[in-house]
Amino acid sequence: MRVLWRLLLVAAIFLNTHGGVAQVKAKTSGSSPDFSLHIGPPRQVVKAGSPVQIEVNVVNATDHKIWFSAAKGGKGWSELTYSVTIRDAQGSSPPLTRLGRALTGEFLRSDDEVPNSVDHVFADLETGESAPDVMTVSKIYDLSRPGSYVVTISGADTKDAWVYSNTVSIKVIP
């Protein structure tokens, strides 16, 4: 079951046309990404122990429709759609949560809670059309310690290019 779940996760990441504004690393030079990605924090200051969320806005950057996939109906698994990077003020990654360990393939303990399946919505995204979403990044990283953090997300487009979002800052207070 875990192998199937991981295969579905990898397929979702590569089939998703969620994407990045700030940087693009493409295998083929001169190609433009299918989408752009912009993130922003709903709150820049969050109390320790509270969920840490970011707003995600994906925009079709092509002159044609693209296929768009996202976790269905606010079930809280949009975290599986993007690759998330978080760094503290010293440039270190905070510890991963159980879900974060599962997503990176680290050893899982028997008490780790990971979804066995996730419902996705598949739709066309018209030229210039955007799809807003909210991601709870504290499901992937343990952000319970007070401090300043920077967050970036990325995703692969259909041309095997990685698209990176802008970077946002979030402060966790006691």
Residue-wise pLDDT for 151-162, tens only, equals 999 988 877 788
Q: Which fold has domain 2-173?
A: Immunoglobulin-like (2.60.40)
Q: Identify the H or E element spanning 4.
A: helix 2-15
State which amino acid sits at residue 7: L
Residue found under tokens 């001169």: 30
Q: What digits encode the pLDDT tens for the residues 112-146?
A: 555 555 556 677 889 999 888 889 999 999 999 99
DSSP state of 136: E
**26 falls in which pLDDT band (50, 70, 90)?**
very low
DSSP β-bridge partners for residue 35: 60
Q: Where are the domains of the chain?
A: 2-173
Residue found under tokens 């044609």: 64
Rounded-to-integer distance, Cα 37 and Cα 156, Å? 11
Better-scored residue on pLDDT, 31 or 15? 31
Rounded-to-integer distance, Cα 31 and Cα 108, Å? 38
